[in-house]
Amino acid sequence: MSKNYIIAQSGGPTVAINASLVGIVEKLKEAPNTGKIYGSLHGIQGVLKKELVDLSTYDNTLLTKIKYSPAMYLGSCRFRLPGNRDNEDTYKNIFSVFEELDIDTFFYIGGNDSMDTVLKLNAYAQNNHIDIRIIGVPKTIDNDLLVTDHTPGFGSAAKYVASTFREIAYDTHIYDLQSVTIVEVMGRDSGWLTAAAALARNSYNAAPQLIYLPEVPFSTSDFLEDVKRAMDSYQNIVIAVSEGIRDKDGHYIAAGVSESDQFGHSQLSGAGKVLEYLVKERLHVKVRSVEINILQRAAAHLSSLTDINEAYELGGAAAGYSFEKLSGIMTVLKRKDTKSYETEISYVDVSQVANKAKYVPSSMINDMGNDITNDMLEYLSPLVIGQVPVEYADGIVDYAPFLY
Amino acid sequence: MSKNYIIAQSGGPTVAINASLVGIVEKLKEAPNTGKIYGSLHGIQGVLKKELVDLSTYDNTLLTKIKYSPAMYLGSCRFRLPGNRDNEDTYKNIFSVFEELDIDTFFYIGGNDSMDTVLKLNAYAQNNHIDIRIIGVPKTIDNDLLVTDHTPGFGSAAKYVASTFREIAYDTHIYDLQSVTIVEVMGRDSGWLTAAAALARNSYNAAPQLIYLPEVPFSTSDFLEDVKRAMDSYQNIVIAVSEGIRDKDGHYIAAGVSESDQFGHSQLSGAGKVLEYLVKERLHVKVRSVEINILQRAAAHLSSLTDINEAYELGGAAAGYSFEKLSGIMTVLKRKDTKSYETEISYVDVSQVANKAKYVPSSMINDMGNDITNDMLEYLSPLVIGQVPVEYADGIVDYAPFLY
């Protein structure tokens, strides 16, 4: 008897989440008794609305193109499942679709919010003795999932961030004038991605000279001292700051600015912008700020091959665990304790991951709280290795066509 | 008798300006009577300070690496030569260095400000019967130099902008929610680079749906009507705006915001940020703004091969014109009137270029002033074709080492 599957993607975009999708699809297609492989549009919402496509009919050329495409081929959602008791109807609707389509396994690719959905659906299935598997596959550029050594999407974002810092270093290096450039990197609560800016350094480039993570309480006076000290050694300073830096009372630096524009609204400026004006006012030096913004999660042309391959394999492994009848799990990467970088794939009960977050440990942050340590460099370095094939159409980066 | 040369780079960075440098150096090295090929650090200032390096000793491997590196290998300056009568000492100092080093030709690679330097130095040499050639080589991502069909650096920036808009289109496409994303592109006075966002469109991607150039007086009421209309047809709207858009009275939209932060300073927001808050307030839709910022002029890993090759050839041609004893000229590209894209290199008297600017003509802007025409697409399309070799070191984009 043939088995049917549903795959959905959720949360914020990364460039690796489609590799996991294709990893699942290709592994399922290998199994002799695979029937339909449904892709659910816009996360779990596509199940509720029965907006599904059959991915088992996709040929290898299209699947490979999807593998290297940014964001979510199937679309995403920010829908959070209500607690079981709050709204059992939602669960009944979801599981009636699963039953109607004779679904063997539901795969959900996402971050810690999405793993909450995996947890709840699995609990509902167990409590109601429904024979179905619910399996999570991780992704997030923030790298803030527990248990797994790192998350798919992070290595590519890190490669983009480090490459961009290196290019910015060239840009800032040209003038024979003291200058400060503050670059804001994504990461509301965890500083993994901001730390990756350090990979821009090499034998001749010391930028970024300073790195500030949200794990360290931010002090504007210490910051100004740091910048002054760096200006004694370098003419052009580049500073990496996480969007989520906060002062010792937990107030976002980014939220410190309230602005009233010509239309009478107040608005928020990012942390980088706030620090730009602080440096300008206090240090009277040429300064500018750059927000890398969504480019760091969308620039698939600079994906890390290591990252994309791992994302693909974590997807395939999820399909394998489905064949083994496992449920309520998320696939994880374990780093082997070897000199050269090697990983093995395993899984974890999703309750250990859902709604939790992994922060940068103090061993990876220097004592002054304005840089990372060698431990962090050793952790990060293997994750950005290797380039993906990039296609161009009429000179512009080219990816899989939109599905909808 | 051997001939010595000086080359300098000036103005804002592009990813093509080093290709012109290498083009000059390699052509000069071919000539049997070439002696020293000095590179002047930080533009003309390196001549005044006698901060010079000898590029004739550079091997092909290093020169090729420099060719594909962003910004200025020799550094830049924003130094504007005073008028001859205002400060003859500066001229005397420059020409005494030229004489001392027995310079045959001074090459200056830059934008319209730099061509002003070429013009003034050439006039001084002629008025004082000094036997030297002063030759300009164009560059600017703004594409605002007259006579030349386009400028080196523009095609690569256009390729980066269009590729980035396409990646942003993927990022905005994922949610099943109405959204507006406003992306600000460089271009204070001319809209060429913002127009290049249109190259992101293809058979399935209509983003950016709206494009605003500084050549068209910006009306916020028309803009809001445009966005509302676009929202009737598309769920996710991407809008390209030039940083330099102005209202009918010539006031920058970017300058409309005055902000007072926690430190009591006022600050300026970019045009994209201002429009973000306008859309949020008036249309009550999910909206964000992205400023591509300096990445669009520094991202050498996405350079256009056409652009880099043309920059290289314009440099080589400048050396050739030096051998022909021409002076007071700038090399230019002429587009041949053929179906397939072909250019030929020529030159122009630098007085026709210096201190002047080329704007987007009305034939390349649609009647509503919110998009470009097919004429513009035909103009832009060939300039972004082809990819350059990109090197990576430890997974991060790798360029020529800093010179200083």
The secondary element (H helix, E strand) that includes residue B212 is strand B210-212
Residues of A known to be catalytic: 142
Candidates B14, B79, B171: best to mutate against A (most CBs of A within 10 A) is B171
Residues of A in contact with B13 (CB under 8 A): 170-171, 174
Encode chain B (404 residues) as per-residue pLDDT tens digits.
Answer: 799 999 999 999 999 999 999 999 999 999 999 999 999 999 999 999 999 999 999 999 999 999 999 999 999 998 888 887 778 899 999 999 999 999 999 999 999 889 999 999 999 999 999 999 999 999 999 999 999 999 999 999 999 999 999 999 999 999 999 999 999 999 989 999 999 999 999 999 999 999 999 999 999 999 999 999 999 999 999 999 999 999 999 999 986 444 444 444 444 578 999 999 899 999 999 999 999 999 999 999 999 999 999 999 999 999 999 999 999 999 999 999 888 999 999 999 999 998 899 999 999 999 999 999 999 999 999 999 999 999 999 999 999 999 99
Task: Give the pLDDT band of residue A296 (cuts 50, 70, 90).
Answer: very high
Task: State whether B168 and A258 contact (CB < 8 Å).
Answer: no
Q: Which of A9, A299, A6, A166 is nearest to B400 (CA)?
A: A166
- How far is Cα B172 from Cα B239, in angstroms, rounded to an integer? 12
How many other C-beta atoms are found inside a 10 Å radius of the C-beta of residue A191?
29
Q: Which two tokens stand for residue A160?
A: 């983009």
Amino acid at residue number A387: Q
Q: Is the pLDDT of residue A264 over 90?
A: no
- For the entire predicted model, the pTM comes to 0.96
Q: How far is B129 from chain A (nearest CA, A)?
A: 33
From the CA atom positions of chain B, what is the Rg in Å?
A: 23
Contact B171, B158 (CB under 8 A): no
- How far is Cα A179 from Cα A173, in angstroms, rounded to an integer? 9
Q: Which of B116, B142, B144, B226 is catalytic?
A: B142
B201 in A contact zone (CB under 8 Å)? no
Candidates B174, B269, B380, B394: best to mutate against A (most CBs of A within 10 A) is B174
Report the pLDDT value the prediction gives residue A268, as an integer from 0 to 100: 57
Q: How many CB pairs lie under 8 A apart between chains A and B?
A: 226
Q: Which of B298, B319, B347, B312 is nearest to B20 (CA)?
A: B312
How many other C-beta atoms are found inside a 10 Å radius of the C-beta of residue A345?
17
For A202, the closest of B256, B269, B393 (CB atoms) is: B393
Task: Give the pLDDT band of residue A145 (cuts 50, 70, 90).
Answer: very high
> Mean pLDDT across the stretch A235-254?
94
Report the pLDDT value the prediction gives residue A260, as an integer from 0 to 100: 44
B340 in A contact zone (CB under 8 Å)? no
Query: What are the residue ranges of helices labelled H in A253-383?
Result: 271-283, 295-298, 305-323, 374-380
**A residues 114..143 contacting B (CB < 8 A):** none
Paired residues of B107 in beta bridges: B7, B135
Residues of B in contact with A387 (CB under 8 A): 390, 392
CA triple B103-B107-B108, angle to 5 deg: 135
Residues of A in contact with B393 (CB under 8 A): 202
- How far is Cα A271 from Cα A253, in angstroms, rounded to an integer? 5
Residues of A in contact with B396 (CB under 8 A): 159, 162-163, 166, 199-200, 202, 384
Do the bridges between strand B103-110 and strand B133-138 make them parallel or antiparallel, or are there none, so unpaired? parallel
For A402, the closest of B45, B173, B277 (CB atoms) is: B173
- How far is Cα B263 from Cα A149, in angstroms, rounded to an integer? 41
Report the pLDDT value the prediction gives residue A113, as an integer from 0 to 100: 87
Q: Which of A80, A149, A75 is nearest to A119 (CA)?
A: A80
Q: Which residues contact A351 (CB under 8 A, 6 or more apart)?
A: A119, A328
Q: Which of B298, B262, B261, B401 is nearest to A292 (CA)?
A: B298
Model-level ipTM above the cut of 0.85: yes
**B residues 344..403 contacting A (CB < 8 A):** 381, 384-387, 390, 392-399, 401-402
The answer to whether B375 is a known catalytic residue is no
Task: Give the pLDDT band of residue A1 (cuts 50, 70, 90).
Answer: confident
Contact A397, B200 (CB under 8 A): no
Burial of residue A311 (number of CB atoms within 10 Å: 0-12, 13-18, 19+)? buried
**B residues 271..300 contacting A (CB < 8 A):** 273-274, 277-278, 280-281, 288, 290-295, 297-300
Phi, psi for A388 (deg, rounded to 5): -90, 155
Task: State whether A71 and B170 contact (CB < 8 Å).
Answer: yes
B309 in A contact zone (CB under 8 Å)? no
3-class DSSP state of B111: coil
Contact A317, A164 (CB under 8 A): no
Q: How far is B315 from chain A (nearest CA, A)?
A: 20
3-class DSSP state of A280: helix
Q: Which two tokens stand for residue A281?
A: 């006012």
A166 in B contact zone (CB under 8 Å)? yes
Q: Which of B377, B313, B322, B319 is nearest to B345 (CA)?
A: B313
CA triple B168-A381-A376, angle to 5 deg: 100
Tokens 């009478």: give the residue: A264
What's the distance, CA A128 to chain centroid?
Answer: 34
